[in-house]
């Protein structure tokens, strides 16, 4: 969803991925229950921006004004790593806006401040809730529940009803709860 919000707003958008190459999209994220109008637009356009992407390690996040992490269940494994955490930390320390939606906040799990604290400690965030994870039947499949992890890291999780549009801004950190929040973020 957000890709077209940025493009239509006149922003130059560069899409990258953890490994580089074509970005795989889990089938669940493309079901009619979760697909947004902008998702349909991307699919109908051939998903070009999601093909042949640069690897995150080859991108200097300091060169961008906003670093945005999209969601999907694949991020539950790809994002909570030291490499992704370091990229988030670097962007935030450089004064950039860091944004994430749905499971995208998995990218924040290993991010730290310059004093070594969890980046999310004391910050307001919205993330895919433990209730929503249960409703999609994947509680036992994900490595950890994102909402519980954010709370354990000291974040103030602000949740709306399941599948409601919920976006939260805390300074330069902008997060959204679920696919319905992707455009609001």
Q: Mind telling me the catalytic residues?
A: 102-103, 133
Cβ atoms < 10 Å from Cβ of 131: 14
Please tell me the distance from the alpha carbon of residue 113 to that of residue 126, in angstroms, as a whole number. Answer: 19
- Alpha carbon 121 to chain centroid distance? 17
CA nearest to 57, candidates 84, 81, 23 = 84
CA torsion 26-32-33-35 (nearest 10°) is 60
φ/ψ region of 46 (left if φ > 0, alpha if ψ in -120 to 50, else beta) reads left
Q: What is the largest CA-CA distance in the chain?
A: 45
- On whether the CB atoms of residues 70 and 34 are closer than 8 A, the answer is no
Please tell me the distance from the alpha carbon of residue 145 to that of residue 143, in angstroms, as a whole number. Answer: 7
């Amino acid at each position: 969803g957000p890709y077209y919000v940025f493009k239509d707003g006149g922003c130059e958008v560069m899409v990258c991925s953890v490994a580089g190459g074509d970005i795989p999209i889990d089938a669940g994220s493309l079901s009619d229950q979760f697909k947004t109008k902008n998702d349909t637009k991307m699919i109908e356009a051939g998903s070009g921006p999601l093909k042949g992407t640069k690897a995150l390690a080859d991108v200097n996040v300091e060169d961008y004004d906003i670093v945005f992490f999209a969601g999907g269940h694949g991020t539950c494994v790809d994002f909570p790593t030291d490499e992704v955490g370091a990229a988030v930390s670097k962007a935030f320390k450089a004064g950039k806006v860091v944004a994430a939606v749905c499971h995208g906040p998995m990218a924040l799990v290993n991010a730290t401040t310059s004093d070594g604290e969890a980046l999310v400690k004391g910050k307001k965030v919205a993330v895919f809730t433990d209730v929503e994870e249960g409703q999609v039947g994947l509680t036992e499949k994900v490595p950890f529940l994102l909402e519980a992890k954010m709370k354990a890291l000291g974040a103030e999780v602000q949740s709306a009803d399941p599948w409601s549009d919920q976006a939260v801004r805390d300074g330069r950190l902008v997060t959204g709860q679920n696919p319905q929040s992707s455009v609001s973020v």
